Amino acid sequence: SNRFYVDGSKGYIVFIDTLPASPVFVCSVERTIAQVWRWDRNSVEKIGDVDITNERVILSIVSTDNEILLGGGSGNLWSCNIV
């Protein structure tokens, strides 16, 4: 069994032990709230949790020049300033 930890700031699973040449992983990941992440084609950065409203899933995202509109599974809509 490989030893690992989760880097919560980047959302990575980091393995401590050397992995075999063709590793196979089976994981169950469970979140109780939605998260917003940003990717610039080089790295992934967590923007934040949508925990204020207890929203479990974001179903739609629309970006404009200065904001992101998020549509949640509950039917709520949020506007986030990204400037």
The pLDDT of residue 2 is: 67
Cα distances (angstroms) measured from residue 82 to each of 2, 56, 67, 72: 39, 22, 5, 18
Q: Would you say the C-alpha torsion 81, 72, 62, 10 has a positive or negative sign?
A: positive
pLDDT digits (tens, 9 = 90+) for 48-61: 776 666 777 788 88
User: Letter for the amino acid at 48?
Assistant: G
The average pLDDT across 51-74 equals 80
Q: pTM to 2 decimals?
A: 0.44
Q: Tokens 């923007």 belong to which residue? A: 47
pLDDT classification of 20: cutoffs 50, 70, 90: confident
The pLDDT of residue 40 is: 82
The four Cα atoms 67, 73, 74, 76 give a dihedral, to 10 degrees, of 10
The pLDDT of residue 36 is: 75
